[in-house]
Structure 1
Amino acid sequence: MKMRIKLIKEFFWMLLMSALLFCCGKAEAQVLPEYSAFPTSSLGLQLGVQGLGLQGSYSFARSFNLRVGFDVTPDVTFIYNSRNLRVDRSAVYALVDWQPMYGNTQWFATKWFVTTGFGYYFNNTLYRQGIGRTPDYSVSMSKYRPYIGTGLGDIYLFGNVRLRLDVGSFLPTSAPTSSYENKANTITSGLKGIMPGLNTAATFYIKF
């Protein structure tokens, strides 16, 4: 666990520093605040289906925004079909947002963006309680996942604190595997194949 946290921290800061170095040469005047869904830069706390994490961002080229961060879901257990199902998930990601309606003054146009990118999961496993002759087992899902989604940004809360809303999915690149027979298909079919990669999140951030 300590090694995982260390890797997440190192990867996060590496991506953030790279993004800042890439973007620092862009003139801030390129991005007009009255039209933009993105702050010039930000650091925030993200809460969502993927877990709890930190996220940094930097806007560039008027209608684009770069985000990097990590999420951790610490041993969450819930009841699914009358038996325990535990989620163990931790990931880092890099995303690029595009604001299609940049330059318009309507509220939705100044908030809406679409997103693509990728995520890497250090761990992405479901642990399922057995029943009868079926023992407890685990289902491991793909670690490298491209991302596609949409959202609303720069929603005013107070002072320099803003809210960003995301909905999308980290798409699997390989089939799930199970530690017991064919239970991988049973679990992912029962969950409609959505929950493991679903991303719905709210990020509370400070704009700089």
Structure 2
Amino acid sequence: MAPHSKRNSAMGSIRIIGGQWRGRKLPVLDAQGLRPTTDRVKETLFNWLQGRIANRRCLDLFAGSGGLSFEALSRQASFVQALELFPPAVKQLVTNRQVLQLDEQKLPIQCTDTLQFLANQPLQGFDLVFIDPPFRTNLVAPCCQLLQSYGWLNPAALVYIECEREASPLNVPWSLLKEKCAGQVLSRLYQVEGERVC
């Protein structure tokens, strides 16, 4: 979740809550607008995804602290493409990738505008997409439209969306599997139509 307003450069931390790096803490920028997914929300999400992460290709559209990317890889995702617009956050993501001794081909991190990135045909589709932009930036709906229009989603792909509680309802052609509010955070998990090939 990239910050889009004035930031400071203090440090905080995130904790990986499951998988091979369970309990590991990683430093992250403590910057205005950078809102790492809380342990409580992550626990809910990854309980929803239990048994559906290993060997999956994942796309993290607003990587921010990297909490969702690192959590997925800790639980044996085969590949995570992380996108982040804020250069200092990208630098910290790269540092944390090195700390975990991850190959950059398994976790490529790209400093880019997510909407521009999605307005292209992918070389290969994804099985799981995380959409967790900064709150109140109206980025969720255009991301969903681009994912659908440009063929980013494999058959039976899962799409996780985290947004502000008061966000407008989404008009997407996917099945809503799970939904939960925790404080000001609304979490939804959708599934694309079709059957997974492998």
Question: Which has the larger helix fraction?
Answer: 2
Task: Point out the structure with max Rg over C-alpha.
Answer: 1
TM-score by length of 1: 0.22
Question: Which has the larger strand fraction?
Answer: 1
